[in-house]
């Protein structure tokens, strides 16, 4: 293969290319950078200075050191599926893409762990160990393309995190390049309960602001001996959400407990994976239990008992693995399915105490009416993690801002009942201002002080995670004032 | 009640007494301070300046602010059951005792949480909710007297943490007084997945060096429908430890999986709760499974199958709750039982990959022979958390130092196979030097930098958790040199 030549006089681009080998591992021309202007949060776009593709930890370290020494802003990017804008280059960053570091380095079944590079795709891990009876639990809807490095940055969740916990509960060790280029190993051999401060927990979910993860040791679980999945249809949203609360209070912990409302059902039934949900239904619960075969029926019966008490209209049990898989495909492509019923959508990610489900769903319906925008709800009901999907048309002037404001109001509703503003999508640039819903100044300063320890020059992913003045905040401020006046 | 008068001219004592009300909430005379010279780690003793007993968060905050403003070293103390010296006043500290803040503030069954003050005793929580079918999972052996505040500081574990996780997995929210007296709330309403950095995880297990916890929201669990407990006796330690590894690799997760060796059995059978373990046996496993009734027998059968393959001599199934309780009493008082066979003992707390159990147990036997001291092993085998108990006689000159050295060598053995130096007892002052077994300079500095953010004057619990020059380090150094030469 011929070595590509660098066609620019920018000395930094040339030097960065040298670090990663040659011009085939760097993008710097306008047209090549378009795809890197945003991630899964598409409302704001900014161009990076360049995108580099290191092949190993030492290259990442050298790139970081170069950026730090030369005052170049930089950030890390995986598959770019993040939903809060964590990988958007607000400051003309050098993007360090980790997609070439995509190896499965080790599987140790005896100690139940696997070691992966950050660019390794989530679902590949389960696929590569399922024949031996093991799997990796965190299952964000994007799992077929998102990377485990990105999952660590965002502390990703997923439908089965109700029973099995989010990403942070499955991370046993990390290799991290700090913002000065130093490489540290946290819990190198996957032994948890490490002495000292829990840096592993601190790094996980820090949204790429404290360091760049270059190697990850994860816990793998034995595949459950048996599972069963049911759909429960309700004529009233209230009954569905009460059933959720009742199931959990009864001490049952399903593997997954998902809910979709009428608008969401309209979308998923109009998209790629319809499964025949009744169109006139107010809410559907998708409930899965797993574990030892002998205990499955008992759990399902307890759940159906609860649903009956809450006036369930109809229950369907998956008759085989194929039907079960089709229900999950229907659910997991739910966000994208909004495209079938709306030109644009904005997904939010609030968390509430389960007991407040009925109250908050009513408030979201109100927000929908006030804003004149439809809001669909597809969410992890079991752990109170709501995903209101605000439907809008970006071509109509002002409607994007209106959607942002409605999304923000949904988060305020969550905060008002003692909940919080993100369950699994992160804060990124999207929810910086909403951090004020849940943290006072001292609490935010305690956090930015920690950032300063790791990232004193604030060159790494600046402008994310914490409230800062900026377009996003300004819009919301303007819209709030407008609302107050009208 | 007559108000007690302060009998000292020390202005700080007088001012501290004023903050907590009067002289009945402060100790400052030599004789009263004796009990506060050490905690459960009795090898080093130092006198505090005073012990104050605040009744609420505001008093804690005022005490901390006073200490900070007046450059007085201070630290927090719960029941004083810690095993690594975290509450020992190395610098003539003002001890802020939290034993008067011992209320159960709230139980919310619907959202499965409870709110307690830091001085609330661990076991009381389970006792106060068990009639409603709930319990609090973390169960350190000291649970009948240790406080939940102390559990948070040390990230306490326990026998059932194999299946249910250690303290950090059960903490949903904290109120914390920072070292400058500011009060912050983390995850105030017990909604996890809070945005921003995981300060909750950072504070948990920080061994009282970052702040003082004044309110704790914990997760409570539904009591399992059914449980069964078995004892499995092995003629060879190797067979017992292989059985442990096999059970976990088979995908079974017992609620608890404990192991005791011959010396430990000799001790527990000579102490307060003998249960008739055969005296000639090399190792006993105490195995408990819990969950839905229908699945229990299947799990027990799988476990017995594994034990048979590893040449188990005898198996006993608990015939009723009383027998089960007697087995646990026998196990949980195991450390104290050493008093029946040795004047003194020192317990260590290493963690290893389960697959290394046979190898490390052999190395510990070697260390015992080299040091001429008996070492008993009672431990959480399922999660690879070893507790070698070094038996010695402090009255024999030099034997205490020899025991410390042997304990340190056990931790080195754990670190050598990719393990670590503490699973649940913390580093405190005991294992400061051993931090170097698992962290290099950069990794330690990354942590002390974090301490500096919270605790810039280092007045709060100084000298703990990280390597510093001092008596402990010196002894070990001297002993190591002696060993090398001989």
Please give the Cα distance from B452 to B129 (Å, whole number): 40
Over 70: is that where the pLDDT of B469 sits? no
The reply to whether B4 falls in a domain is: no
Residue B405 CB neighbour total at 10 angstroms:
22
Please give the Cα distance from B145 to A380 (Å, whole number): 39
pLDDT on residue A468: 67
Domain that holds residue B86: 11-97
Give the helix/strand (H/E) hosting A218.
Answer: strand A212-219
User: Do B327 and B235 fall into the same domain?
Assistant: yes
User: Do B347 and B337 fall into the same domain?
Assistant: no
Average pLDDT taken over every residue of chain B: 91
Among the listed ranges A187-201, A320-334, A356-370, B210-224, which one has the minimum average pLDDT value? A187-201
The reply to whether B399 falls in a domain is: yes
Residue A395 CB neighbour total at 10 angstroms:
9
CB-CB neighbors (< 8 A) of B202 in chain A: 197-198, 201-202, 450
Tokens of A91: 């400051």
pLDDT (average), residues A18-29 = 91
User: Do A145 and A176 fall into the same domain?
Assistant: yes
Convert the pLDDT of each residue in A196-246 to its tens digit: 899 999 999 999 999 999 999 999 999 998 999 999 999 999 999 999 989
pLDDT on residue B401: 93
User: Do A334 and A346 fall into the same domain?
Assistant: no
User: Do A236 and A163 fall into the same domain?
Assistant: no
Beta-carbon contacts of B414 under 8 Å, excluding residues fewer than 6 positions away, are B350, B351, B352, B360, B386, B420, B421
Give the pLDDT band (50/70/90) at residue B193.
low
Hey, are the CB atoms on B193 and A133 less than 8 Å from each other?
no
pLDDT (average), residues A453-476 = 76
User: Do B136 and B26 fall into the same domain?
Assistant: no
Q: How far is CA A72 from CA A57, A69, A458, B20, B298, in A?
A: 19, 8, 10, 53, 60
The minimum CA-CA distance between B422 and chain A, rounded to whole Å, is 6
Look up tokens 């004020």; give the residue: A436
User: Do A129 and A213 fall into the same domain?
Assistant: yes
By C-alpha distance, which of A184, A217, A21, A36 is closest to A112? Answer: A217
Hey, are the CB atoms on A198 and B168 less than 8 Å from each other?
yes
Please give the Cα distance from A436 to A447 (Å, whole number): 13
Give the helix/strand (H/E) hosting B323.
Answer: helix B321-332
- Overall pTM > 0.95: no
Hey, are the CB atoms on A355 and B110 less than 8 Å from each other?
yes
Q: What is the 3 state secondary structure string of A115-178?
A: EECCCCEHHHHHHHHHHHCEECCCCCCCCCCCEHHHHHHHCCCCCCHHHHCCHHHHEEEEEEEC
The reply to whether B152 falls in a domain is: yes
Please give the Cα distance from B72 to B52 (Å, whole number): 13
Convert the pLDDT of each residue in B264-303 to its tens digit: 999 999 998 999 999 999 999 999 999 888 889 989 999 9
pLDDT on residue A354: 86
Hey, are the CB atoms on A426 and B195 less than 8 Å from each other?
yes
The reply to whether B303 falls in a domain is: yes
User: Do A273 and A229 fall into the same domain?
Assistant: yes
pLDDT on residue A478: 42
Average pLDDT taken over every residue of chain A: 91
Among the listed ranges A37-41, A159-163, B71-75, which one has the minimum average pLDDT value? A159-163
The reply to whether B2 falls in a domain is: no
Over 80: is that where the pLDDT of A474 sits? no
Name the domain boundary from A82, A97, A112: A97
Total domain count, chain B: 5
Hey, are the CB atoms on B197 and A194 less than 8 Å from each other?
no
Name the domain boundary from A222, A251, A279: A222
User: Do B93 and B20 fall into the same domain?
Assistant: yes
The reply to whether B39 falls in a domain is: yes
Please give the Cα distance from A352 to A356 (Å, whole number): 7
User: Do A108 and A61 fall into the same domain?
Assistant: no
The reply to whether B68 falls in a domain is: yes
| CATH label of the domain that carries residue A29 | 3.30.43.10
The reply to whether A1 falls in a domain is: no
Over 70: is that where the pLDDT of B197 sits? yes
User: Do A114 and A59 fall into the same domain?
Assistant: no
pLDDT on residue B70: 98
Give the pLDDT band (50/70/90) at residue B354.
confident
Chain A residue closest to B179 (CA)? Answer: A446
The minimum CA-CA distance between B453 and chain A, rounded to whole Å, is 6
Hey, are the CB atoms on B110 and A454 less than 8 Å from each other?
no
**Read out DSSP for B144-158?**
TT-BHHHHHHHT---
CB-CB neighbors (< 8 A) of B385 in chain A: 193
The minimum CA-CA distance between A22 and chain B, rounded to whole Å, is 31
Q: How far is CA B2 from CA B22, B24, B55, B354, in A?
A: 10, 10, 19, 59
User: Do A88 and A116 fall into the same domain?
Assistant: no
Hey, are the CB atoms on B110 and A249 less than 8 Å from each other?
yes
Phi, psi angles (nearest 5°) of residue B337: -60, -20
CB-CB neighbors (< 8 A) of A442 in chain B: 182, 184
| CATH label of the domain that carries residue B244 | 3.30.70.2190
| CATH label of the domain that carries residue A410 | 3.30.70.2740
pLDDT (average), residues B122-132 = 97
Name the domain boundary from B203, B222, B241: B222
Please give the Cα distance from B76 to B54 (Å, whole number): 11
Q: Which residues pair with A261 in a beta bridge?
A: A283
């Amino acid at each position: 293969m011929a070595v590509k030549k660098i066609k620019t006089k920018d000395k930094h681009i040339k030097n960065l290319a040298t670090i990663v080998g040659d011009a085939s591992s760097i993008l710097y021309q306008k047209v090549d950078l378009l795809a890197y202007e945003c991630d899964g949060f598409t409302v704001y776009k900014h161009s990076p200075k360049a995108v580099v593709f290191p092949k190993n930890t030492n290259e990442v370290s050298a790139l970081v050191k170069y950026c730090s020494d030369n005052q170049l802003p930089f950030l890390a990017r995986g598959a770019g599926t993040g939903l809060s804008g964590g990988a958007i280059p607000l400051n003309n960053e050098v993007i360090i893409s980790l997609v070439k570091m995509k190896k499965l380095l080790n599987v140790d079944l005896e100690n139940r762990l696997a070691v992966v590079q950050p660019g390794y795709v989530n679902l590949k891990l389960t696929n590569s160990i399922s024949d031996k009876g093991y799997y990796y639990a965190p299952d964000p809807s994007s799992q077929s393309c998102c990377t485990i490095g990105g999952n660590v940055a965002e502390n990703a969740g997923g439908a089965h995190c109700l029973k099995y916990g989010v990403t942070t509960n499955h991370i046993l060790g990390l290799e991290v390049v700090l913002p000065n280029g130093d490489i540290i190993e946290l819990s190198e051999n996957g032994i948890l309960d490490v002495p000292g401060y829990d840096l592993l927990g601190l790094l996980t979910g820090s949204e790429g602001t404290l360091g760049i993860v270059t190697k990850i040791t994860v816990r793998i679980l034995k595949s459950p001996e048996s599972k069963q999945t049911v759909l429960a249809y309700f004529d009233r949203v209230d009954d569905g959400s009460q059933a959720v609360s009742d199931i959990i209070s009864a001490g049952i912990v399903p593997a997954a407990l998902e809910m979709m409302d009428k608008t969401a059902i309209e979308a998923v039934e109009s998209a790629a994976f319809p499964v025949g949900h009744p169109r006139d239904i107010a809410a559907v619960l998708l409930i899965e239990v797993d574990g030892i075969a002998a205990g499955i029926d008992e759990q399902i019966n307890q759940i159906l008992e609860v649903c009956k008490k809450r006036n369930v209209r109809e229950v369907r049990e998956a008759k085989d693995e194929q039907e079960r898989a089709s229900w999950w495909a229907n659910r997991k492509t739910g966000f994208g399915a909004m495209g079938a019923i709306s030109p644009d959508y904005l997904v939010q990610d609030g968390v509430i105490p389960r007991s407040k489900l009925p109250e908050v769903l009513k408030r979201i319906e109100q927000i929908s009416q006030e804003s004149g925008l439809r809001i669909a709800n597809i969410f992890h009901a079991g752990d109170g993690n709501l995903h209101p999907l605000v439907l809008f048309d970006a071509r109509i002037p002002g409607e994007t801002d209106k959607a942002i404001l409605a999304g923000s109001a949904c988060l305020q509703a969550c905060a008002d009942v003692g909940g919080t503003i993100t369950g699994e999508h992160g804060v990124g640039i999207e929810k910086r201002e909403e951090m004020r819903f849940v943290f006072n100044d001292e609490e935010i300063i305690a956090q930015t002080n920690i950032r300063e320890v790791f990232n004193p020059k604030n060159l790494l992913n600046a402008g994310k995670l914490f409230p800062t003045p900026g377009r996003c905040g300004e819009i919301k401020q303007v819209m709030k004032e407008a609302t107050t006046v009208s």
